[in-house]
């Protein structure tokens, strides 16, 4: 992924509402596209772009999009498919469907043959259609969908693979195996491809060994919950600092970190956008990109005017002071207040040295509202 040290690094999730002409014209704005259906159009506008093929990690491929490579449940249950690869819940009847993906048949990812099938299915398609990475969705060490077992020998013998509970060492081991196998396969392609994972590693405790192992098997991390928890809750101070720690850790491995901040009900207003900008900038290094929009509006561009603001490049890591978190950039000062009340922050330079991100004057001390972020522009932030 292109270097993001200076300014904002941006990525675009999906492109269903973006024409091929728009994709080519706007491709230069972005360093990565997650799951686009028009890879050649994006590449035509930006040959350096990371263009990723979409696959939910524990299911068959999509049936209508991305090459229509998948199959319906009826096919999997027939003699044409592999009935013994379908993963069911512990009632031994209900497939362990992934939430939001009612057509992608859930498969037993602890089975080596399943992972080999997935890679052999999507790998050649990726290579032939301009994708240079795999966007593996909904990866988690938690068994969130109640996956439990498979039916074998013509649906006469039940084989339990997992407990069906969220906390399950067997499930976690299967996830680690899947990511290691997928990365190995992708790195071995004629045109080497990367493994991007949408996984909640950023929500794990700092230095968590299981999630550090998971990070070792992937080439980039997509943090869809971000600092807004899918629009349900602004991160408190502990959650915020943990997320920034993981952002810096993943990038220290030379791997990109993609962070999404989603908002419920409407598109984010100016203060909500600034919170997304500020939290992203707190953890941004050479390989970090962001996206913020209303929940449920993937596939459309959300290119905010503030993205052109000259924030510069980092001078310091995140640091704490005056009960807030701060970070200095060459052309800006970033402040995040994760508390529940407004905090007046004394600025490092006189107020006249700063403007807000919209170019308006500021005061010193500067009131920073509860659960908010500010990006203050300056001529000499360091």
Domains of the chain: 11-308 (3.20.20.70), 312-382 (2.60.40.1180)
Q: What is the pLDDT of residue 134?
A: 98
pLDDT at 230: 97
pLDDT of residue 330: 98
Q: Which residue is associated with the tokens 């005061």?
A: 363
Instruction: Name the percent of the chain lying above pLDDT 90.
Output: 99
Confidence of residue 210 (pLDDT cuts 50, 70, 90): very high
State residue 81's pLDDT score: 93
Instruction: Report yes or no: 258 and 9 within 8 Å, Cβ to Cβ.
Output: no
Mean pLDDT of 140-169: 97
Q: What mean pLDDT is reported for the chain?
A: 97
Closest CA to 310 of 290, 280, 331, 281: 331
pTM for the model: 0.96
On the CB side of 315, CA atoms within 13 Å amount to 14
Alpha-carbon separation of residue 162 from 94, 110, 150, 325 (angstroms): 15, 10, 10, 42
Alpha-carbon distance of 3 to 26, in angstroms, equals: 18
Residue 212: per-residue pLDDT: 98
pLDDT at position 306 is 97
Structure tokens at 263: 């908002």
């Amino acid at each position: 992924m292109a270097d993001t040290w200076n300014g904002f690094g941006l990525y675009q999730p999906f492109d269903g509402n973006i024409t091929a002409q728009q994709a080519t014209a706007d491709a230069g704005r972005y360093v990565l596209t997650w799951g686009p259906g028009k890879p050649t159009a994006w590449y035509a506008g930006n040959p350096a772009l990371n263009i990723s093929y979409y696959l939910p990690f524990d299911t068959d491929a999509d049936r209508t999009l991305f090459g229509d490579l998948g199959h319906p449940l009826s096919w999997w249950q027939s003699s044409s498919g592999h009935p013994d690869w379908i993963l069911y819940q512990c009632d031994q009847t209900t497939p362990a469907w992934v939430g939001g993906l009612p057509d992608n048949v859930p498969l037993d990812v602890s089975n080596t043959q399943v992972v080999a099938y997935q890679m052999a299915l999507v790998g050649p398609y990726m290579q032939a259609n301009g994708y240079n990475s795999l966007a593996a969705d909904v990866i988690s060490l938690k068994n969130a969908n109640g996956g439990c077992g498979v039916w074998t020998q013509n649906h006469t013998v039940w084989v339990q693979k997992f407990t069906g509970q969220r906390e399950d060492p067997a499930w976690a081991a299967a996830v680690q195996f899947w990511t290691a196998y997928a990365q190995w396969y992708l790195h071995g392609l004629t045109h080497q491809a990367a493994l991007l994972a949408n996984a909640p590693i950023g929500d794990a405790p700092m230095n968590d060994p299981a999630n550090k192992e998971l990070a070792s098997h992937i080439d980039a991390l997509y943090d869809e919950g971000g600092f807004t928890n899918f629009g349900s809750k602004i991160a408190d101070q502990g959650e915020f600092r943990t997320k920034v720690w993981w952002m810096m850790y993943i990038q220290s491995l030379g791997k990109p970190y993609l962070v999404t901040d989603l908002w419920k009900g409407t598109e984010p207003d100016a203060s909500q956008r600034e919170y997304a900008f500020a939290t992203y900038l707190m953890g941004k290094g050479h390989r970090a990109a962001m996206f913020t929009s209303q929940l449920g509006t993937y596939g459309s561009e959300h290119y905010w005017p503030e993205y052109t603001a000259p924030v510069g490049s980092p001078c310091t890591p995140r640091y704490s002071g005056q009960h807030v978190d701060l970070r200095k950039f060459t052309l800006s000062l970033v402040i995040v207040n994760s508390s529940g009340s407004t905090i007046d922050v004394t600025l490092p330079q006189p107020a006249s040295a700063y403007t807000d991100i919209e170019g308006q004057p500021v005061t010193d001390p500067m009131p920073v509202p509860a659960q908010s972020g500010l990006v203050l522009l300056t001529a000499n932030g360091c």
